[in-house]
A and B are shown apart, each in its own frame.
Chain A
């Protein structure tokens, strides 16, 4: 005759509906005559009934954050392939004037680089359309045109001094098209400290009529944000220099619509009255700043939305921002 130890072990199963019909029958029969087992059963039932009920809704940004990181991983490659970083000799081929093509920010820049990298990918049409729209750029475009036909050739000139990647696995072979993200990283590394902007852009931006910082999201000229005052404006020269030092680009990512809408924008920087090369026009440039998962991201006002992962520590940027805010008070 089984003793209480045996019955005790099936009590749990009965509570969970996992006992076989025979076991259930046995146990019920036993409990009629055994108060201890009855009390244990009733206690187990009691705590089961008293378990927390109802599912909590996860935070709205959970899914967006997850997809953001997954897409970021996808863009920048999950396992970084160690390669010697080589100076890209594209500059040797481009005339000084043509260099300025690279300095055009926004969609045109993106399109241009695409075309250089993937000459047969059909981006040529896009490029031609964009380029044709602005006659000031056409001279530079002609200089760059011959390279639309060729593969990009990479010369083994020198290794970047502070390579973040491991040494020692194969150099990039000639005629191998580079990933766009690697290219931009290289281009940026040609200039001061991985800056988000190339040199000539930076010169324009530093001379911008005004640089204003807004907390969170801000859209200039929209009625929704009409009443908003900047948290800091009229940055002095030192602040501007610091700002540009902080705005570094480590890698590029694309955004899905979900991610873009749901993530918190830390601040928005508006550069107004930025002179355009070789033109009397001025433009505004809007840079959105995200901090997510302890990484800083910058997005330039361009279509499609591209954001740059930065290697600046978020805390450094936050301190800079706080410093400006406090100075204004």
Chain B
């Protein structure tokens, strides 16, 4: 869908034409659903989150001015809906949990080892699995920014629109998110293959 087509549909939807909005839903639902799925981790909640995001989009569609692509606006709604959901879930579990970890934890980056540069197919597969596990363990803000960058392929500028951050903050947060992810992987006991290039690492 071109940006013109999109704008046209949005205008129609703003006028109350739900059929036009339906076309926007069909065109964007895969992106929204995938972001939600990676954020909340299960299909049922992801469906609920997607639904909530689209309904919010419809109800506030008068506020969409067309400065960015509709998908960016949708990502923003989806992200907020998912973050709220995760926050309230964790609040129920831990009363005083502060989910946000935007501070540098002060440690030097553990220098990653050769496991991050897999050679064989098996090693690649293991790294993939470890990354998948590690993503789930990331604090929400780090997780969402990596998802937007890596899975949804958004540029730094688009991410700054989605998350309402300065571009500088986007850059530094992505860096810290990756650093944190590496740290998680290094302490992942299941991420344990012996790299073909180094004999001294092991279980």
What residues make up the interface of A, taking CB atoms closer than 8 Å to B?
8-9, 11-13, 15-16, 18, 36, 39-40, 42-48, 50-52, 55-59, 62-63, 65-67, 69-71, 73-74, 78, 256, 258
Q: Which residues of A contact B132 (CB under 8 A)?
A: 52
Q: Which residues of B contact A12 (CB under 8 A)?
A: 171, 174-175, 178
Asked if B111 and A62 sit within 8 Å, CB to CB, the answer is no
Give B127's nearest chain A residue, CB to CB: A50
Docked pose: A52 CA to B149 CA in angstroms: 12
The interface-forming segment of B4-12, B49-57, B90-98 is B49-57
Docked pose: A169 CA to B174 CA in angstroms: 52
Docked pose: A47 CA to B113 CA in angstroms: 12
Asked if A78 and B59 sit within 8 Å, CB to CB, the answer is yes
Tell me the interface secondary structure of chain B in the complex: helix
Range of interface residues on chain B? 35 or more
The 6 closest A-B pairs by CB, nearest first: A43-B112, A46-B116, A58-B33, A43-B116, A12-B175, A51-B150
Give A74's nearest chain B residue, CB to CB: B18
Docked pose: A9 CA to B21 CA in angstroms: 41
Q: Tell me the minimal C-beta distance from B71 to chain A in angstroms.
A: 13
Q: Tell me the minimal C-beta distance from A47 to chain B in angstroms.
A: 5
Q: Which residues of B contact A18 (CB under 8 A)?
A: 155-156, 171
Q: Tell me the minimal C-beta distance from B45 to chain A in angstroms.
A: 12
Asked if B174 and A16 sit within 8 Å, CB to CB, the answer is yes
A-B contact count, CB below 8 Å?
Answer: 121
Q: Tell me the minimal C-beta distance from A236 to chain B in angstroms.
A: 38
Docked pose: A18 CA to B55 CA in angstroms: 34
| 22 A-B residue pairs with CB within 8 Å | A8-B109, A11-B175, A12-B171, A18-B156, A39-B116, A40-B111, A42-B117, A46-B116, A46-B118, A47-B116, A50-B124, A52-B38, A52-B128, A52-B135, A55-B30, A58-B32, A58-B34, A65-B47, A67-B18, A67-B22, A73-B59, A256-B22
Asked if B116 and A51 sit within 8 Å, CB to CB, the answer is no
Docked pose: A47 CA to B146 CA in angstroms: 11
Asked if A42 and B47 sit within 8 Å, CB to CB, the answer is no
Q: Which residues of B contact A57 (CB under 8 A)?
A: 30
Asked if B29 and A63 sit within 8 Å, CB to CB, the answer is yes
Interface string of B25-39 (1 = CB under 8 A from A): 110011111100110
Asked if A50 and B128 sit within 8 Å, CB to CB, the answer is yes
Answer whether residue B162 sits at the interface, using C-beta atoms and an 8 A cutoff: no
Asked if A256 and B18 sit within 8 Å, CB to CB, the answer is yes
What residues make up the interface of B, taking CB atoms closer than 8 Å to A?
16, 18-19, 21-22, 25-26, 29-34, 37-38, 43, 47, 50-51, 54-55, 58-59, 109, 111-113, 116-118, 124, 127-128, 130-132, 134-135, 146, 149-151, 155-156, 171-172, 174-175, 178, 181-182, 185
Asked if A70 and B109 sit within 8 Å, CB to CB, the answer is no
Asked if A56 and B175 sit within 8 Å, CB to CB, the answer is no
With A47-B178, A50-B128, A52-B38 already in contact, the answer to whether A9 and B172 are too (CB < 8 A) is yes
Q: Which residues of A contact B134 (CB under 8 A)?
A: 47
Q: Which residues of A contact B150 (CB under 8 A)?
A: 48, 51
Docked pose: A55 CA to B37 CA in angstroms: 10
Docked pose: A57 CA to B31 CA in angstroms: 9
Q: Tell me the minimal C-beta distance from B25 to chain A in angstroms.
A: 5
Q: Which residues of A contact B182 (CB under 8 A)?
A: 43-44, 47
With A12-B171, A46-B116, A51-B131 already in contact, the answer to whether A66 and B54 are too (CB < 8 A) is yes
Asked if B51 and A65 sit within 8 Å, CB to CB, the answer is yes
Asked if A36 and B111 sit within 8 Å, CB to CB, the answer is yes
- Among B16, B109, B171, the residue within 8 A (CB) of A13 is B171
Docked pose: A71 CA to B34 CA in angstroms: 25
Asked if B33 and A67 sit within 8 Å, CB to CB, the answer is no
Given A42-B116, A44-B178, 20 additional A-B pairs, CB 8 A: A9-B172, A9-B175, A16-B149, A16-B174, A18-B155, A39-B113, A47-B181, A50-B127, A51-B146, A55-B30, A55-B31, A56-B30, A56-B37, A58-B29, A63-B29, A66-B25, A70-B18, A70-B58, A71-B18, A74-B16
Q: Which residues of A contact B21 (CB under 8 A)?
A: 67, 70
Docked pose: A70 CA to B20 CA in angstroms: 12
Asked if A69 and B55 sit within 8 Å, CB to CB, the answer is yes
Q: Which residues of A contact B124 (CB under 8 A)?
A: 50
Most chain A CB within a 10 A radius of its CB, from B33, B43, B124:
B33
Q: Tell me the minimal C-beta distance from B13 to chain A in angstroms.
A: 10
Most chain B CB within a 10 A radius of its CB, from A67, A69, A71, A78:
A67
